[in-house]
Structure 1
Amino acid sequence: MSSSPGIRRREHVDMMYISIETAIALASVVGNVVVVLAVCVNRALRNTTFCFIVSLAVADIAVGVLVIPLAIIISLGFKTQFYTCLFLSCLLLIITQSSILSLLAIAIDRYLRVKIPTKYSTIVTQKRACVAVCLCWILSFLTGLVPMIGWNNRNAQGNLSSSSDIVCEFTAVMRMDYMVYFNFFGWVVVPLCIMITLYAEIFRAIRRQLNRRAEATCDGERYYRKELKLAKSLALVVFLFAVCWLPIHIMNSVHFFCPKCTVPKSAMYFGIFMSHVNSALNPMVYAFRIKTFRVTLIKISHRCILCKPAPPTRCPTGTPALTEKVDVNL
């Protein structure tokens, strides 16, 4: 295998990287397919909020189906034409960028739910949510395909003919100034800062409202615990996003600003699969912490996996609309 044309000798770290990436891809696809299936099965989940969550799940499924396999192929160093390799690299950016923008859309949606709860349903309609999802994907394609129109490393490859083959590596076709200035600073740092600002405002608004409720009603403690659970989930989302995406971009920045500095290959692999593992974590953060999803998943598991009817669940006889609203936000 090591003597095959266009394939470099595989080191032990390469095999470890491929194994870990394969496990992440499987977890990402299975987890996010279950999220989409749960929304399709339960009509109570088909609202504007879950429109953004489904968009995120679709992006994360694409990470497992396309991005990770392409990343593995590129890591093997096979030979192909320059623009073929560049297009494959751009696909990685498009799909991962759509995941980031979906996270930002969810943050904005949750911010609006907290700040304007009475006007939320009239402002954030299903149609507008679908338009926002389409804009996220269109913007992902536009930003991800920028290298195809000239911001690439073709000049650094010398006088290449249209039929010349190169060893396909991400750094061989992508310019680091694009990855650092445009992709990292413009489309990772900025969305991250916006999300941190939105979630900070959400924390402030929730605590202010809960303090008022605690003073006005005897159920204030119960409401506080439920809202605190939501606040912790939002903090976890921001934390995981930063932990998973910053390492690879920081290493790209080190490589760009300090060309003489060497980044270990194992560290680069760690940064790559950390950015991918975020797609496997998103179902747990956004879906499995929601009570309505848990109930739906139990029903799906009983019907499809265990091949028996789902256990009956008690339905509230008081205010079902209020109960459903609270569950969806938790």
Structure 2
Amino acid sequence: MLTYILLFSVSLLTAFFNLLVVISISHFKHLHTPTNLLLLSLGVSDFFISFLILCQIVLIDGCWFLGDLMCALYQYLAAIITAVSVETMVLISVDRYVAICDPLHYRTKITQTKVKICVCLCWFGSVMYASLNLKDNMNQPGRYNSCFGECVIVVNYIAVVVDVIIFFIGPITVIVLLYMRVFVVAVSQARVLRSHVAAVRLQGSVTVTSKKSELKAARTLGVVVVVFLICLCPYYCVALTSPEGRTNASSADFLLCLYYFNSCLNPLIYACFYPWFRKSVRLIITLKILQSDSCEANVL
């Protein structure tokens, strides 16, 4: 019962947090920026993951009673949504890299049109990849089940390796490299600012501010990378070492839930650190967004 309550609570929180992100960015016109469009895509994919967590509740006792078709559809949607979530995180890291490391050309390199195209490509590519990877399971749902009430999918081992490279090794490599570069630039800028202000004899107060900025940058980037690794590493490590890529959903509940739990943390990591999110949430909770001119409110 405790497991049921825990998973159900995580599902509700995931849906609630990401719904706030989606409503905020969609409703307020001042939030229609390239970066926020990526957060919107991430929020949409993570919102649907809350429904996948509910499906995991069905599998707690190891019995799937929703039928073979729903089992195949669940695995299909899980592949699409999780892939979109990971790809969007990579796009966000690229966006932040350009914004911090090349701020003068940010507006020309990162535009809303380019971001919309990239987001559409992420969703379309994820749908095509999932369709090819789970083609046999979708054509004949339940073909790999050994008994009634089982929800099993089987993919080629090569496909599992490709999946690990595309959605685990590749994204982690890109995110770590970009964030390391961002951190180096942030630290160097803080040192330049400290040296510049020291020339006007304000070195004491600025030193403290610079150190706080360095620690804040290190802490924020560290949380992003560490949480991403903690949530994704166990699932992909087991998937890569499983014989013949065979995964029984009833035996992988914990790994999948940990994987999905990252979607509950994404709004806290990518959105809650922004002041505009707190302001928009306040307007949403107080129902002020129902006013006719609320979309023009300046929440920045």
Q: State if a TM-score over 0.5 links the two structures.
A: yes
Q: Distance in 1 between matches of 2:283 and 2:261?
A: 27
Match of 2:184 in 1: 204
Q: TM-score, normalised by structure 1?
A: 0.73
Equivalent residue, structure 1, for 2:9: 23
The equivalent residue for 1:195 is 175
Q: Give ranges in structure 2 of 5+ residues lacking alignment.
A: 290-297
Match of 1:182 in 2: 162
Return 179-188 or 125-134, whichever deviates more: 179-188
Q: CA deviation at 1:152?
A: 8.8
Farther-moved stretch of structure 1 (141-150 vs 204-213): 141-150
Within 5 Å, which residues of 2 pair with 1:148-297?
148-150=134-136, 157=143, 167-169=149-151, 172-175=152-155, 177=157, 180-217=160-197, 218=202, 220-221=206-207, 222=209, 225-226=212-213, 228-256=215-243, 268-297=252-281
State whether structure 2 residue 90 is matched by structure 1 residue 109: no
Aligned residues: 281
Cα deviation 1:81-108 (Å, max 9, x = unaligned): 4x66333312111111111111111111
Contact 1:153 1:175 in 2 (8 A): no
What SS does the corresponding residue of 1:173 show, helix, strand or coil?
A: strand
Q: What letter is aligned with 2:54? A: P
What is the Cα deviation at residue 47 of structure 1? 0.8
For residue 295 of structure 2, what is the aligned residue in structure 1? none
Q: CA deviation at 1:177?
A: 1.6
Equivalent of 1:299, from 272, 283, 286? 283
Give 1:69's match in structure 2, choosing from 26, 31, 54: 54
Letter in 2 for 1:68: I
- Deviation track 1:227-286 (CA, whole Å, cap 9, x = no partner) reads 642442222111111101111222233432899xxx9x77x3221211111111111111
2:124 pairs with 1:146: no
Letter in 2 for 1:206: A
**Alignment TM-score, normalising by the size of structure 2:** 0.80
One-letter identity of the residue aligned with 1:32: N
AA at the equivalent of 2:181: E
Structure 1 position 120, deviation (Å): 0.1
- Asked if structure 1 preserves the Cα contact closer than 8 Å seen for 2:137 and 2:143, the reply is no
Q: Could you list the runs of 5+ residues in structure 1 that have no partner in the other structure?
A: 1-14, 306-314, 316-323, 325-330
State the alpha-carbon separation in 1 of the partners of residues 269 and 170 from structure 2.
22
Structure 2 CA distance for aligned equivalents of residues 34 and 84 of structure 1: 28
1:90/1:147 contact within 8 Å kept: no
1:157–1:39 Cα change, 3 Å: closer
* SS of equivalent to 1:76: coil
Contact 1:98 1:140 in 2 (8 A): yes
- Residue pair 2:183, 2:217 contacting (<8 A) in 1 also: no
Residue pair 1:94, 1:144 contacting (<8 A) in 2 also:
yes
CA–CA distance in 1 between the matches of 2:22 and 2:15?
A: 11
For 1:88, give the aligned amino acid. Answer: Y
Kindly indicate whether the alpha-carbon contact (under 8 Å) linking 1:153 and 1:174 is maintained by their aligned counterparts in 2: no
**CA offsets 1:43-92 (integer angstroms, 9 cap, x no match):** 33221111101110000001013x223334455323744x6633331211
Larger relative contact order (CA 8 Å, sep ≥ 6): 2
Work out the CA distance in 2 between the residues paired with 1:292 and 1:280.
19
RMSD of aligned C-alpha atoms?
3.5
Aligned-residue offset at 1:146: 2.0
**Post-superposition shift, 1:113?**
0.7
Structure 2 distance, partners of 1:53, 1:124, is 14
Give 1:199 deviation, angstroms.
0.7
Q: 1:300 to 1:149 in 2, by over 3 A?
A: closer
Query: How far off is 1:179 after superposition?
Result: 6.2
Distance, in Å, in 2 between the alignment partners of 1:134 and 1:182 is 22
Secondary structure at the aligned position of 1:293 is classed as helix
